[in-house]
Amino acid sequence: MDLSGYAELAVRLANATGDEEEAGSEDGHNISTLDVLRSLLTALRFPDTRVTRRDLDAMLALRVEYREIFSAAASGNGSEAVERLNALLIQHPVHPQIFSHDDEPWHLHLTQGGSVADRYAAGSAMGLATLITQLGLNRLGVCGAPSCQGVFIDTSTNRSRRYCSDRCASRANVTAFRGRRRSGTPDVLPTAAG
């Protein structure tokens, strides 16, 4: 079962805002309306259009939990991050079933029971749990750009990601460049020999 899409849902929810006036992080979405939540789910290949206001409220509450999990992991508090994630797994149990369709081999899917929010809460918690157990807690990060609090999953080979998006990385690089220029530090490009 590939749960990477569900782990990505956890990231998107954590980066989402529920306020119509807020813009959210660079990769975030405003999920203050049912239509925007439907669009988010469809963009992540979860085309369930039967979300209700109750589902929306539950997803907004879930985003707070995911932000706390990412923040705890990024600050080195793995115990808190895992404790919070385990609580979500208990609150939203996963019910897998074996399926075969579209000429694919047998594989696992999550059952379609419960509300939309329950299914996606269970799936995103399980996706994040699988990612943590396979790659480690240090793969969860909070953007290093001072003006952004977006979260991300670091999938780089050397675990070096510091920003939630290319845009935040570019802004941070430009800010650092301007700071060096103001301080008079020369910008020396490395040579092939050096």
185 or 152: which carries more pLDDT confidence? 152
Q: To which residue do tokens 């509300």 refer?
A: 115
Write phi, then psi, for 193 (nearest 5 degrees): -80, -25
Is the pLDDT reported for residue 59 higher than 50? yes
Q: What is the pTM of this model?
A: 0.79
So where are the chain's domains? 4-141
Does the pLDDT at position 191 exceed 80?
no
Amino acid at 131: L
Q: Where are the alpha helices (DSSP H) in the chain?
A: 4-15, 34-43, 53-74, 78-91, 116-135, 166-183
| Region of 111 on the Ramachandran plot (φ > 0 left; ψ -120 to 50 alpha; else beta) | beta
Does 2 have pLDDT greater than 80? no
pLDDT reading at 88 higher than 90: yes
Query: Which pLDDT score, from 0 to 100, does residue 19 have?
Result: 60
Share of the chain above pLDDT 70, in %: 84
* Contacts for 114 with CB less than 8 Å, ≥ 6 apart: 122
pLDDT tens track for 172-186? 778 777 777 777 666
- The CA-atom distances, in angstroms, between 32 and each of 5, 47, 176, 180 are 22, 18, 35, 41
At residue 26, the pLDDT reads: 42
Give residue-wise pLDDT tens across range 99-142: 887 788 887 777 666 788 888 888 899 999 999 999 999 999 99
pLDDT tier, 193 (very low <50, low <70, confident <90, very high otherwise)? very low
User: Residue 62: what pLDDT?
Assistant: 92
Q: Which fold has domain 4-141?
A: Jann2411-like fold (1.10.3300)
Is the model's pLDDT at 60 over the cut of 70? yes
In the chain, % of residues over pLDDT 90: 31
**pLDDT in the model for residue 43:** 81
